[in-house]
Amino acid sequence: MAGQFRSYIWDPVLIVSQIALMQCIYYGSLGLWLAALDLLTANSPSLDQIFNYEILGFSSDSGRVSMMAFILNSLTCALGLLYFIRRGKQCLDFTVTVHMFHLFGCWFYISRLPATITWWLLNLVCIALMAVIGEYLCMRTELNEIPLNSAPKSNV
């Protein structure tokens, strides 16, 4: 169809690359947030902070630090959606995909599905934050004016 404003072609290589990139951004920035917060609170860093759902909670320092890192990570990943996905319509898709892979990673690491309500609520909040903020940022850039005049302006 030649009359459409945007034409989309199915590009599985691009989609898989974007999924892999968002997964790298997710775990990379989560690791940085955890390292920074662990440094501030003098906690010892551990892989359990990322994948063990039993650590999350308000009763321990490491649980609160991990939860704060997950929330801050949602904001960082929203920026990843802005710079690498660039489509407001696809933000929710990529957000849910990243968190589904995280669910599988937790399941593999612990050898059972996460069973605490804290883990599920935290991930729902993180999905909502990442998707809404990412979509808002993408929509702002999509709604920028398109310059129609490419010639330099003259002040005559």
Q: pLDDT of the chain along its 156 residues, tens only? A: 455 555 567 788 989 999 999 999 999 999 999 999 988 888 888 898 999 998 888 888 888 889 999 999 999 999 999 999 988 888 999 999 999 999 999 999 999 999 899 999 999 999 999 999 999 999 988 787 777 776 666 665
Contact 115, 53 (CB under 8 A): yes
Token readout for 109 is: 């690491």
Could you identify the residue written with the tokens 């009763």?
Answer: 59
Q: Which of 106, 29, 122 is nearest to 71 (CA)?
A: 122
pTM as predicted: 0.84
Q: Which helix (H) or strand (E) holds 36?
A: helix 12-41
Residue 22 has a CB neighbour count (10 Å cut-off) of 21
Contact 80, 32 (CB under 8 A): no
The helix/strand/coil state of 94 is helix
Q: Which helix (H) or strand (E) holds 70?
A: helix 61-80
Could you identify the residue written with the tokens 């709604």?
Answer: 143
